[in-house]
Amino acid sequence: MSRAYTFADAVYEVVPYINGKAIALDLHLNRLCRSCEAIKLNADISIAEKEIQELAHQVLMNTNGYIYYQLSRGTDAIRNHLYANDLAPESFGYVTLTRKSNNHQKAKIVPDIRWGRCDIKSTALLANVMLMNQASLEGFNEIIMHRDGYITEAGSSNIFIVKDNKIFTPPKNSHILAGITRELLLKNFSQSFNILEEPCHLNLLTEADVVFLTSSTKGILVINEIQNNDYSLNQNHGPFIELREAFNNFLETAF
Ligand code: PMP
């Protein structure tokens, strides 16, 4: 029995490709390495890199898409929380072509019921699955999670809140996944666009000009509507539009 199946004893990465080129592959491999170390999974990351590139080369020659790649601890003879130290890690991956969605993004605000190590990119995402599907039943297609009133992240992406000429994002800690897209944005644009890592209270949402999400598959994605907010988010906010253009340009040219 694979421990991926019985315990979600596995970690994963999603690596985006633009025009056939991997975006920030080194950062994704570093994070995969950190996830493996965090759960004490002994894996050879150079094999992971080779497998990811091989998958991409078969399908993503000049196109946009992404690789899903997962490493699990391996297969044991009988279900046991304690794992044997000689298990051989299993890898699994697939390729998907990017499909741009222009869906109206309507977010529900929900308490973050996940575990205390959301910084590990674990495949154990049942809380996200429960919260997002409940939100979907209620007519939403996204969630914004919070702990005690402070925003953590969205269902499968990091969050940024634009207010006047500043852009806020919750700081890195064990309650959020340190997204690679978030990191690229902060590293390259925080000075020119005044992006600040600060605790973000839910109140900030009611005053925001723009709320947007970041992930390897979504890039920068604007939220159009938030539960119980009857004000309208201003998608034509000048600095935000400039940032999105600059970032998309960066993704196409920097790798
Ligand atoms: N937070 C969560 C919970 C996620 O699942 C993801 C995407 N896997 C992200 C943030 C964004 O990370 P990245 O920019 O590396 O895709």
Q: Tell me the per-residue pLDDT of 163-176, one tens digit each, with 9 for 90 and over.
A: 989 999 999 999 99
121 catalytic residue (yes or no): yes
Rounded to the nearest angstrom, the distance between the alpha carbon of 159 and the centre of ligand 1 is 10
CB 157 near ligand 1, within 6 Å = yes
| Check whether domain 3-97 has CATH 3.30.470.10, yes or no | yes
Strand partners, 196: 168
Q: Can you spell out the DSSP letters for 161-222?
A: EEETTEEEEPPPSTTS---HHHHHHHHHHHHHHTEEE---BTHHHHT-SEEEEEETTTEEEE
* C-alpha 122 to ligand 1 mean position (Å): 11
Beta-sheet pairing, 21-22 with 195-197: unpaired
Distance 14 CA to ligand 1 centre (A): 9
- Shortest-distance Cα residue to atom 4 of ligand 1: 156
pTM of the predicted protein model: 0.97
The sign of the torsion formed by the CA atoms of 144, 196, 123, 15 equals positive
Q: Options 3.40.50.1440, 3.90.280.10, 3.20.10.10, 1.10.1060.10; which CATH number does 106-253 get?
A: 3.20.10.10
Which 3 state secondary structure label does DSSP give 75?
strand
* CATH code 3.20.10.10 region(s) in the chain: 106-253
Going by the DSSP 8-state scheme, the letter that residue 60 receives in this structure is -
- Range(s) for CATH 3.30.470.10 in the chain? 3-97
pLDDT tens by residue, 21-71: 999 999 999 999 999 999 999 999 999 999 999 999 988 888 999 999 999
Give the whole-angstrom CA distance, residue 120 versus residue 43: 15
Q: Which atom of ligand 1 is nearest to the CA of 128?
A: 3
pLDDT score, position 170: 98
Distances (CA, A) of 68 to 45, 93, 107: 15, 5, 25
Note whether 31 and 13 are within 8 A (CB): yes
